[in-house]
Amino acid sequence: MRFSTQTLLLQLGVVLLVVLLSGTVHAWLVYERIGNEAENQALTLARTVAADPDVRAQVQDISKEQGTPPASVLAAGPLQQAAEAARVRTGALFVVITDETGLRLAHPEPARLGERVSTDPSAALGGQETTTRNTGTLGPSAGAKVPVYAPGTGSAGGTGGQGPIVGEVSVGYSVESLGKSLARDIIPIAVTAGGALLAGVLASFLLRRRLQRLTLGLEPEEISTLVHDQVAVLQGVDEGVIGIAADGRISVFNAAAARLLDMPDATGQAWNSAPVPAPLKELTRPAAQDAEAVEVLAGDRVLVASARKAWHRTEDLGWVVMLRDRTELQQLTRQLDAVGTMSAALRAQRHEFANQLHTIAGFMSIGQHEQAKEYLARISATGPLKFPVEQAELLQDTYLQAFIGAKGVEASERGVVLKIGPETLVRGHVADPQDVTTVLGNLIDNAVNAAVAGSAAERWVEVELLDDVTGNGGTLHLVVGDSGDGLGALDPDEVFTEGFTTAEAPVRAGAGQGLGLALVRQLARRRGGDVRILDTGTQGGPGAVFMASIPGVMAAGGTDNGAGATPEKESDG
């Protein structure tokens, strides 16, 4: 039997039990109320009869006689007539009058006159008024017994002095009449109980349907299995999983999502107000339908986020957002870009070096030894390799020479001249090439793109570098300007917004667009530095000027193979 059916039957049983119990208690209370009212009515009637002066006088006269008059005499006497008149007038079952010994002087059945009453009259003959429910010769009844006092000495419930008791009056109302009264009063009770039972049954059916809808028709065992499986899967995967219910609240937020977004568990929060990156919320906007995966910057992590609409048959269950960490891949990609740039530069220089060797070989083959020596001296003075970077001799660090030289080759291929600013002064050496590559490479690439897109006749990019190895853990300051058309009317802070880009197409397939400047600013700020715009530039050039400060990437001390090394050292290497 299905759990929902068991629940329905249990609810119906509880409702039925409650209705029956409530109806029974209510009926019993009504019966007790009717019985009490009958007893009080009997007591009132008994007092009235016992207080009648004629009744008191007749009872005293009979009590003074020796013996009890015959039943025929009593049946025609005034006591019988008075008792029957009271009984008929009030609808009582009986009105009985006895003498001081308990013998009947008036009774609804004349044949029983002169006999002793079937119920004990001692309490009333002792001066007490009592109410009783018992069974006599006329059947079960609710009644009362009241003493009859001698005339002139007291009265039932009397206010005068108590005199001798000459008899008692018993009045009773039939239990059958009580039942009839109860039957009249029980109809509303039965209708109410039936309505309550019907409402309970209807509510139980509605609750069963709601339970099935909420549990998607699953049994408790299946739900328990699903919960265990969900916990095992969600906490066992490295990808972040965020579930947004149809009502817009976060229903699932696994540990990987909390780690990747660097925030506490957000389960139960409203998705629109949750402290998650805005691009994630854009993926789940009402118009979105399984959009392409996007790169999102979350702190110092680069995440690939995708969202899928969740359905169960035709029911909308909300959204599922998947997060995958591409930080390490992005770092490897940047390193590979740097290696690729340097490789391209080295290939170009290898070609140049081969041309130089051919020239020397030509001089030697025609016997021009002096000219060959002069040519070798000029080559040695400028170094065996030459990058197309103006004033490259200002750089003393080998890594900066190689990286900026490679960028110079790449820029030269696009018709842009890369030059080192005259204020450049780098006395230490790079201790953290990866972060330097990220910041400097992005700024130079953006400047080259701006120069290519600019309207100036001469296309150039100028880089100035200054290090401070005495304070703040070795800071490298960078200033990059270009010949482009500047930022125009753009807000300077807007260019650092995640997703902002002016490129029409990615430089490389699969490359994320709009993350470069946002990434370098976060990287610099994480180290305690910053990236900002010194000048927004002008139309026609010069273009925007960016400044970056990167603490902790420089170390004191020079290098052994700088640009200013002597020819002898270079030839030895």
pLDDT in tens, 238-264: 788 888 888 888 888 888 888 888 888
Burial state string for 57-66 with b = 16 or more CB within 10 A and e = fewer than 16: ebbbebbeee
Mode of pairing for the β-strands spanning 104-106 and 94-99? antiparallel
Cα 129 from Cα 572, distance rounded (Å): 138
What is the pLDDT, as a whole number, of residue 291? 60
DSSP for 71-109, please give it. Answer: HHHHHTSHHHHHHHHHHHHHT-SEEEEEETTSBEEE-SS
What is the pLDDT, as a whole number, of residue 185? 67
pLDDT tens readout for residues 481-528:
999 888 877 877 778 876 666 555 444 433 445 567 877 888 888 888
Mode of pairing for the β-strands spanning 460-468 and 417-420? parallel
What is the pLDDT, as a whole number, of residue 296? 76
CA atoms 71, 76, 78, 79: torsion sign: positive
C-alpha separations of 357 from 100, 352, 353, 364, 568 in Å = 158, 9, 6, 10, 18
Average pLDDT for 70-91: 87
- Is pTM beyond 0.75? Reply is no
CB neighbourhood size of 373 (10 A)? 12
pLDDT at position 434 over 50: yes
Of 54, 63, 83, the closest CA to residue 151 belongs to: 54
Q: Tell me if the bond preceding 277 is cis, omega within 30° of 0.
A: no
Torsion angles phi and psi, residue 391, rounded to 5: 60, 35
Mode of pairing for the β-strands spanning 417-420 and 389-390? parallel
Q: What is the DSSP letter of 495?
A: G
**Contact by Cβ (8 Å): 119, 132:** yes
